[in-house]
Amino acid sequence: MRLFDVLGPVMIGPSSSHTAGAARIGRTARQLLGEAPLQADIGLYGSFATTGRGHGTDRAIVAGLLGMKPDDPRLPDSFALAQKAGLHFSIHPVELRSAHPNTAVLTLQGAHRRLNLTAASVGGGRIRITSIDGVNADFGGDANTLIIHNEDTPGCIAEVTQALARRRINIASMQVFRSSPGGEAVMVLECDSHIPAGIQPQLAAVPGIRKVTCLNVDEDV
């Protein structure tokens, strides 16, 4: 157990799960989009939907989409700041099956990219990404992460791991998800070091790879 797990996150708001975790979901979604979102559809499930307004969940997610961290003092003013930033958003309850009670479903549109994300706040400010662009996933967004959308064909995994090896980037964990054999697949590789931007266009040019997303925890978008 880490000290963070005992003390909890430095945050603005009454709840680590409903406020700090919600802000992290929004901020991680912005990082995965790779640009500032212009439109956001925000669906809230379970406790997020029933008690989220009182805990500031809605404002926290919007604050995260604006790039704020959970301890940003501007978090309560996120709705007004979103209007100034040109972020149009809607918030509504959603029904899900077998989902964590603190789950948000985000559909983001930026100037150049679109993202569908399902994520849960699992306590202590920690989150888990459970779906990305319609394919199941399971990662926390707290490590440098490379996400690859690809066709489920031989050779894609080797291309990605070799590209990282050539740059001396160690893979801490790797997960592979697919919708069906030969269908859509997602690779999630959590890495020990910063993932250089140059790897994205290189991998995007590989046959069978459709989308490459880098999440570096030390970078702001």
Exposure string for 29-47, b = 16+ CB within 10 A, e = fewer = bbbbbbebbeebbbbbbbb
Q: What is the mean pLDDT of residues 171-187?
A: 89
- Tell me the CATH number at 155: 3.30.70.260
Instruction: Quote the CA–CA distance of 26 and 124 in Å, as a whole number.
Output: 16
Instruction: Quote the CA–CA distance of 43 and 48 in Å, as a whole number.
Output: 9
Number of domains observed in the structure of the chain: 2
Question: Would you say residue 138 lies in a domain?
Answer: no
Q: Closest Cα partner for 85 from 30, 132, 127, 129?
A: 30
- Statement to judge: residues 118 and 151 lie in one domain: no
Instruction: Quote the CA–CA distance of 209 and 169 in Å, as a whole number.
Output: 20
Q: What is the pLDDT of residues 40-95, one digit of tens each?
A: 999 999 999 998 788 899 999 999 999 999 989 999 999 999 999 999 999 999 99
pLDDT on residue 168: 95
pLDDT on residue 16: 54
Question: Would you say residue 89 lies in a domain?
Answer: yes
For residue 121, the cross-strand partners are 127
Q: What is the pLDDT of residues 90-143, one digit of tens each?
A: 999 999 998 999 999 999 999 999 999 999 999 888 999 999 988 888 999 999
Instruction: Quote the CA–CA distance of 7 and 30 in Å, as a whole number.
Output: 27
Q: Hey, what are 79's tokens?
A: 């709705």
Q: What is the mean pLDDT of residues 190-204?
A: 93
Q: What is the mean pLDDT of residues 153-174?
A: 94
Q: What is the pLDDT of residues 3-20, one digit of tens each?
A: 344 334 444 444 556 789
Q: For residues 19 and 123, is the Cβ–Cβ distance under 8 A?
A: no
DSSP state of 29: H
Which pTM value belongs to this model?
A: 0.85
Q: Closest Cα partner for 186 from 163, 208, 162?
A: 208
pLDDT on residue 119: 97
- Statement to judge: residues 170 and 128 lie in one domain: no
- Statement to judge: residues 98 and 65 lie in one domain: yes
DSSP state of 7: H
- Statement to judge: residues 151 and 95 lie in one domain: no
> How many CB atoms neighbour CB 99 within 10 A?
16
pLDDT on residue 10: 45
For 120, what's the count of Cα atoms within 13 Å in the CB-facing half-sphere?
Answer: 18
Q: Closest Cα partner for 10 from 143, 128, 124?
A: 124
- Statement to judge: residues 128 and 201 lie in one domain: no
